[in-house]
Every structure is written in C-alpha cells, then in structure tokens.
Amino acid sequence: MLKPLLVGELNPYGSSPEFALYPLPKGASGDRLCRIMGVSTRGYLKRFDRVNLCVGKWSFVAARSVAEKLKQEDRVFVLLGAKVCRAFGYDFTPFCVCGKVVILPHPSGRSRLWNGSESVGRARDALKKVLGAGSTMA
C-alpha cells in the first residue's frame, strides 16, 4: 500500500518534487507539519509522501488537473488548506475525516486556525482515525 500523501499548494523554495512540504528550513510548512504531528524530521520523511499541486504560482486549473490524477491512487490523502480541498472537490472543513481523506488547515504561518489551543490535538486525532490508533509516526 502507498504511504499517506501530504498535499500542499506550491513550494516557495523551488519546483523540485522532493522538496514539496520539506521540513527545512526551520519554520517552513514541512517543519510546522512535523511539530503539529509530533514526529521527527526523519519519521516525517520516512512515513509520508509529499506533493504540491502547482509549481511557480497557484493555478486552480493546474491544481485540479493534478488532483484528478492523484485521486486515482488508493491511499490516504492529507489535504492542506482550502485551495487544495477545492482542487480535490471537497469543502474546507478543518480537522474533518472523509473516508481516506483528512482535511487540515494549511501549515503555513498565516493560518490562524492553528492558533486554537485544541488544533494540534484535533489534527493528531484526525490522522489517527485514518492511519490507525496504534500507528507510530515517529
């Protein structure tokens, strides 16, 4: 079975696919995801596949096309943010689990949804629902 796929918008650090949601530099979206999930950088890179829907600048048309291709895969998807959800055809309902899809706020420093004291716990609970309560992410 394929690893869970973390799906982001685009990478401001470059277009190379291996750097999608990369956990460096400190403070980047991938680094925030590691902290939100409570996993080490090594565990994060080992446990999850990562992809961005766009390169360079956001395009809903391009994002939708990539999302349609990705949806053909039998795997868990972690959709990060409202734009990504829309590209996949989901309403943005943070911390929601829809079958094999987990919807989380975008992990950028701009999302105020992460400021709530219960947000990290809700995200971890949602991930546990699809990854299995006994699964270790570290």
pLDDT per residue as tens digits for the range 45-101 = 999 999 999 998 999 999 999 999 999 999 999 999 999 999 999 999 999 999 999
The answer as to whether 36 is a domain residue is yes
pLDDT exceeds 70 at position 138? no
The answer as to whether 138 is a domain residue is no
pLDDT value of residue 29: 93
Question: Domain of 41?
Answer: 5-131
pTM given for the model: 0.94
pLDDT exceeds 70 at position 134? no
Confidence label for 15 from pLDDT (cuts 50, 70 and 90):
confident
- Count of domains forming the chain: 1
Written in H, E and C, the secondary structure of the chain is CCCCEEEECCCCCCCCHHHCCCCCCCCCHHHHHHHHHCCCHHHHHHHCEEEECCCCCCCHHHHHHHHHHHCCCCCCEEEECHHHHHHHCCCCCCCEEECCEEEECCCCCCCHHHHCCCHHHHHHHHHHHHHCCCCCCC
The answer as to whether 71 is a domain residue is yes
Section 32-45 average pLDDT: 95
pLDDT value of residue 12: 81
Domain containing 54 — which CATH number?
A: 3.40.470.10
Mean pLDDT of the chain: 92
pLDDT value of residue 135: 54
Q: Phi and psi of 69, rounded to 5°?
A: -70, -45
